Structure 1
Amino acid sequence: MVLLSASICGLRRLVSICEEYATSHELVYNVDKSQVMVFGAGSKRYENIPPIKINNNTLQRVLKFKYLGHMLTPDLKDDEDIERERRALSVRANMLARRFARCTRDVKITLFRAYCTSFYTCSLWARYTQKAYSAFRIQYNNAFRVLLRLPRFCSASGMFAEAGVDCFYASMRKRCASLVRRVRESGNSILNMIAGRLDCIYVRRSCAMSGEWCRTGRFKRIVSFYFLFVP
């Protein structure tokens, strides 16, 4: 469960409602797994905030949190999540190269498509540094080289074209396009509201990545949020 509020007072009110519900239903929240994250407004960072308590226990404030497999940070950047996926890709690629070293080329290509081209939550990456993004792209290319035992400095575009496998940019475009399509076709009113806003950073990036038309313009709306994670 996640509680989101724009102020400490609002967050405390939400926590009190949860405490009342837990008491009436004879439930107990796990304080050790409940944590607080404060999202800054632009370049502002809030070092000191009033404590948030559940059952008179102060909750720990964290600088990163994995929610549904996606890494969240106070600055709302995706470098941590890109690094998480880069390491996961490295583990999967090394496992395939070690266990299936004697398989045929076609088998290795099929395994690569199945295990190394699915980037979890990559369509949500919108704010990141070029360094983190390039490191992930290089890891993707090297994973294919290691699995097929290709020279280290061979052409990335050439090896993917020869094998009939999507390159890094093609894989990212497909996943971003899939996100836009599913959001726009959803019957959920909240998702429809998000899809209808051209200032939504995720929809705008997905449109740009997938080559769809998206009206230009800059929208700045910076709000400080307080995030509470309760298992």
Structure 2
Amino acid sequence: MVLLSPSIRGLRKLVAICESYAAEHGLKYNVKKTVTMVFRSGRGPGTIPGVFLDGDLLERVERFRYLGHIVTEGLVDNEDVERERRALAVRCNMFARRFAKCSDQVKVTLFRAYCLCFCTCQLWVNSTRRAVTNIRVQYNNAYRILMKLPRYCSASDMFARSRVPDFFAIMRSRIATFWSRLRASDNEILSTLAEGLDCSIFKHYLSVQREANRK
């Protein structure tokens, strides 16, 4: 469960509501697994008051992994991009070792099934070009290693021949699908945010499109 508030005072009120609900229904929160994070707006105050749950001060963290996505207090997604890059490298190296003697068709099927899903990539709205380049290069090299292709062969050509989407095609598809779901959401807050031209997801899609055109 996540509680969001624009102020510490508001957050304390939300925590108090949770405490009351838990007491009335015989529940108990695990304080050791509960943390707080501050997303600063501008410079912000120098000292941030603590938040207490059942009388215990909650730990304040700078990063937290929520539903698989690494969230940081600076709202920068480089760490999550690197998480997915490493996961991709592990999967592809395992396939290259275990299925080295399989046919190309089997290898392409495995690659499609396990290497085309960049978990939460549609949320990478604030990452550096270097971080994105690193995972793109990892994706291209992973396919070359699995298929035993020369290291410097054309990425666009090898993906076109096997009818496997390249990195940017995957990103565009994931972002567009997510954006479409937000716009069609029954939640008025989500749909309203998604409809605006300043929507961060829409800007993310445009940045991916521009980067693809450069390549």
Query: In angstroms, what is the RMSD of aligned CA positions?
Result: 1.7
1:180 aligns with 2:179: yes
User: 1:77 is matched with which residue?
Assistant: 76
Contact between 2:168 and 2:209, CA under 8 Å: does it hold in 1?
no
Q: What is the aligned-residue identity percentage?
A: 52
Aligned partner letter, 2:8: I
Cα distance, 1:57–1:166 mapped onto 2, change above 3 Å: same
8 Å Cα contact 1:142/1:152 also seen in 2:
yes
Q: Distance in 1 between matches of 2:187 and 2:79?
A: 29
Residue identity matched to 1:130: R
Counting only pairs closer than 5 Å after superposition, residues 43-192 of structure 1 correspond to structure 2 as 44=43, 48-192=47-191
Residue pair 1:19, 1:54 contacting (<8 A) in 2 also: yes
Residue 208 of structure 1 deviates from its aligned partner by 5.6
The answer for the alignment partner of 1:5 in structure 2 is 5
- 1:69 is displaced (CA, Å) by 0.8
Q: 1:46 to 1:160 in 2, by over 3 A?
A: farther
TM-score, length-scaled by structure 1: 0.85
Decide whether aligned partners of structure 1 residues 7 and 188 sit closer, same or farther in structure 2, where only a CA change above 3 A counts. Answer: closer
* Pairing 1:17–2:17 present: yes
Letter in 1 for 2:137: I
- 3-state SS of paired residue (1:96): helix
Q: 2:204 is matched with which residue?
A: 205
1:33 corresponds in structure 2 to 33
Letter in 2 for 1:2: V
What secondary structure is seen at the aligned counterpart in 2 of 1:50? coil
Aligned amino acid, residue 65 of structure 1 = F
Kindly indicate whether structure 1 or structure 2 has the higher relative contact order, using CA contacts under 8 Å at least 6 residues apart. 1
Distance 1:99 1:41, change over 3 A: same
- Cα offset, 1:210, TM superposition: 6.2
Letter in 1 for 2:177: S
- Secondary structure of the residue aligned to 1:66 is strand
Decide whether the 8 Å contact of 2:175 with 2:201 is kept in 1.
no
Unpaired runs of 5+ residues, structure 1, are 212-231
Q: Distance in 2 between matches of 1:20 and 1:185?
A: 35
Seen in structure 2, the aligned counterparts of structure 1 residues 93 and 45 have a Cα distance that, compared at 3 Å, is farther
Structure 2 unpaired stretches of 5+: 211-215
CA distance in 1: counterparts of 2:197 and 2:124, whole angstroms: 17
**Alpha-carbon distance, 1:53 to partner:** 0.8
**Residue 4 of structure 1 aligns to a residue in which SS?**
coil
Q: 1:131 to 1:45 in 2, by over 3 A?
A: farther
Q: State the 1:75 CA deviation.
A: 0.8
Q: Distance in 2 between matches of 1:180 and 1:119?
A: 16
Query: Is this contact kept in 2: 1:101–1:147, CA < 8 A?
Result: yes
Amino acid at match of 2:97: R
What count of residue pairs does the alignment treat as equivalent?
Answer: 210
Task: String of CA shifts for 1:36-77, please: whole Å, max 9, x gaps.
Answer: 1111114x3666311111011111111110111111001111
Conserved in 2, the CA contact under 8 Å of 1:176 and 1:210? Answer: no
Equivalence for 2:213 = none
Q: Deviations over 1:153-203 (max 9, x none)?
A: 222112112221111111111111211222223333333222222222123
